[in-house]
A and B are shown apart, each in its own frame.
Chain A
Amino acid sequence: MHLILVGTSHHHAPVELRERVAFGREEAHAIAERLGAAVCLSTCNRTELYVETDNADEAERLAVGVLSELEPALYRLRDHAAALHLFRVAAGLDSLVPGEGEILGQVRAAHEAGTPGPLLDRAFRHALHAGRKVRAQTAIGESPSSVSAAAAALAEQVFGELGGCDVLLVGAGKVSAQAARNLRTRGASIAFVANRKTDRAQLEDELARADVVVSSTSSPGYVLDAETVERARHGRQLLLIDLAVPRDLDPAIHELDGCYLYDIDDLQAIVAETLAGRRGEAERAEAIVAAEAEKFHEWQASLDVVPAIASLRARAEEIREQELAKAEGMLARLDDGQRRAVESITAQIVNKLLHLPTVRLKQAAAAADGVVYAEAVRHLFGLGEDER
């Protein structure tokens, strides 16, 4: 049984190409059904088809057919390489921003919408486990990866829980809207959105109530100066985020006791630093993913020898039962306790004899010699000859 991956991602194709093969949940399900035992993972950064098959070449040809529009930008991986890739994807290590957490949910959703066979099912479950493990054991996903998320995380450093925190938005650009969304997600409420029509007195009134100010206007001069802020805030702590260029907020505000002003450069420096930290954590995450992928590989390799082991054990059990049946005449004189003892002893002999060959077969499977050993066992013990 083989695991096949055909796909493309932000590493290989620009958005103009990726958007041609972006599939919704229903489409992804239909594609998986068409390919047989398959899962279609389609996000804004990647579209990947995972297929479980006995005929790797044919399955790959079919999968490439589904993504034919992007054929030059497609990558094709098999077995261990395909599984390792899936594990890295689930852990966020192949993401545009290393360690981003959304991908784990997207992998789960793709698994649920797919039509996986036992191998693919196990691969996705194991990948999700590896992704969760990476998030639990490393700090790769803890720090913000965008200016807007950094602004919200900074607010938490000042105010703790943001429930009950009021945000004053001055101007409503795209970045400030994202910052507002991040703040709201963490519990803050958007108290007021000031625009060109808002007069000075009203702005100061709102400033008096605000805990966080996010400013992003196209004003050529300062929208708020230090004097205004000091007059309006009545000694309260205030975090001010200036996302505008040219800047909206007087830098002197930062000198006021209890006022913390961050402009776009400050936030970008924080994001760069946290991303550098993520890359450091990524090394630890890669080690975790590699170990998990290796475990999966061992399990998959053991599949080659499992039928041989099962046949060997069945054959041994059959012989044991036949021999006991032959001795039935003698055994009939034994009482129940003695009979159980004979059963137990013979079963133990069989188990002990088969223990080492079983272990060695599994080890051989992990070392890629599994098929050869399995054939040898079949040949030596005449397994499956009756069926031929």
Chain B
Amino acid sequence: MAELLFWPALLLYGEAAVGYLGDARRPGAAGRLATWGVRLGWLVQTALLGVQASREDGFPWGTWASSLNLFVWFVVGAYLIWGCRRPYRLLGLVVMPIAALLLAVARVGGGTGGGARSHYSNLFLVVHVGLVLAAFAGFTLAAALSALYLWQERRIKRRAATILRRPAPSLAVLDRLAVRTVLVSVPALTLGLAVGLARLVSRGDRVDALVVATAVTWVVWTAYLAVRAVGWSGRRAAYLALAGFALVIVVRLALPATHFG
């Protein structure tokens, strides 16, 4: 069943990515098709996660690959909140190819099938994995918004004659949405990390590379909020968000082997 749901979800996310590309070239029907691809794909992926949850006794997303599957669901879900509106379709051009790619990677790692039961308790996993993944999804979205900000700012700086033919969200809106997304994501990461660290200390386990990298990620994103509070905005803040996202990539993709057991 999970297998049956994986392919439509991937196809719909892929269709959305291609549709957003078409919309960037010629706004209109392609963008609307892409939006429906996102909506339907997310619903299918929700069903996939539901099937996974119903098959397992415990929390089914405790492995690296299955947590990547959940992470994609969070990212697309967060994007869906406002991303399907017309001015934000360009954001889909950034988000949806990443989502499709990561979902495919999750499948290669075996994260879209039945899943493996973890030896950790359900509550711990729900709080720790759930919060950390939700935070990372938020950071991914903030980074996508920042990338869009830099692109839009560059167009305005270059005085591109086409700037009004293909309007993007305004700089102010992109900047504001990015900081709001981070404002929600940092507390989630803080809590998720705290729960993980508390368990680490109580069990007397060693700190691994992933924990260190996640802590550094937390520092960077907290610093992002701090510098925003003292007046940083615009391009500098966008670059900092992209640096924070680079760490998210490292934590999500490069180091999980040291952490999931």
Contacts and interface: CB of A to CB of B under 8 A. Distances in A.
Given A150-B164, A157-B171, A237-B234, 18 more contacts: A144-B164, A157-B152, A157-B167, A158-B156, A158-B171, A159-B172, A160-B169, A160-B171, A160-B172, A235-B231, A254-B157, A257-B236, A260-B156, A262-B159, A269-B159, A270-B163, A270-B164, A274-B165
Interface of B: 27-28, 152, 156-157, 159, 161-165, 167-173, 231, 233-236
A147 to B, nearest CB: 12
Interface of A: 139, 142-144, 150, 153-154, 156-160, 235, 237, 254, 257-258, 260, 262, 266, 269-270, 272-274, 277
Contacts of A235: 231
Nearest to B169: A160
B170 A260 contact: no
A143 B235 contact: no
A272 B161 CA distance: 8
Given A143-B164, A270-B161, A159 B156 contact: no
Nearest to A156: B170
Contact of A157 (B161, B168, B233, B236): B168
20 contacts: A139-B28, A143-B164, A143-B165, A150-B164, A156-B170, A157-B164, A157-B167, A158-B156, A158-B171, A159-B172, A160-B173, A237-B171, A257-B236, A258-B234, A269-B159, A269-B161, A273-B162, A273-B165, A274-B164, A277-B165
Contacts of B165: 143, 273-274, 277
A143 B234 CA distance: 26
A368 to B, nearest CB: 35
Contact of B157 (A160, A260, A269, A277): A260
Nearest to B29: A137
Contact of A158 (B27, B28, B159, B170): B170
Most buried by A among B27, B162, B164, B167: B164
B130 to A, nearest CB: 33
Given A258-B234, A260-B156, A154 B172 contact: no
Nearest to B170: A160
Contacts of A158: 156, 170-172
B180 to A, nearest CB: 14
Given A158-B172, A262-B159, A257 B234 contact: yes
A270 B157 CA distance: 14
Contact of B171 (A142, A153, A159, A266): A159
Contacts of A258: 234-235
B171 A257 contact: no
Contacts of A254: 157
A98 B73 CA distance: 44
A273 B161 contact: yes
Contacts of A160: 169-173
A157 B173 contact: no
List the 3 closest A-B pairs by CB distance, nearest first. A160-B170, A273-B161, A269-B161
